[in-house]
Amino acid sequence: YYEHKKDPKNGQEDILMKRRPLVGVGVLIRSNERYLLMKRHNSHGEGTWSPPGGHLEFGETLEQCAIRETREETSLLIEDVVFIGISNDFFIAEDKHYITIWMEAKKIKGDAIINSPDELTEIGWFKLNELPAPLFLPLEKFINKNYYC
């Protein structure tokens, strides 16, 4: 799992860890048969629509991550957070690789707002048959049933 490379300047050998996928958690939040999506900004998938989500932090459960990311990004409180699948996502243009863990939850309190205008530009609730375009790669794969459960 390690790669050895020589520094061209001093000829010394450095040990570098090979690249590994990152772990993201996506949260499908349901309210009145609609799902919450946000338009991404200043991140991989720029201009695409995705549900709330983000990186799993060290020591955090999947449910805690889903609740935290949803609150941070939208101010919503959610409950009944359950695992629904995993997608393996390669972002070729951005040279990124993620394992996305999909969770589903119900909204319990609050109005969805954009808490991070530097990361998101729009927010809304959409029926599955009326989703905006383009969709974030992991969400598109999930909707097309290209995931593990």
Render pLDDT for 102-120 as a digit per residue (tens, 0 to 9): 999 998 899 999 998 999 9
Q: How many CB atoms lie within 10 A of CB 124?
A: 13
H/E run at residue 71: helix 62-74
How distant, in Å, are the alpha carbons of 6, 57, 96, 104 from that of 51?
A: 43, 18, 19, 10
Pair 104, 30: CB distance under 8 Å: yes
Rounded to whole angstroms, the Cα distance separating 100 from 97 reads: 10
Q: 1 pLDDT band (50/70/90 cuts)? A: very low
Q: What is the pLDDT of residues 132-147, one digit of tens each?
A: 999 999 999 999 999 9
Q: What percentage of the chain exceeds 90 in pLDDT? A: 84
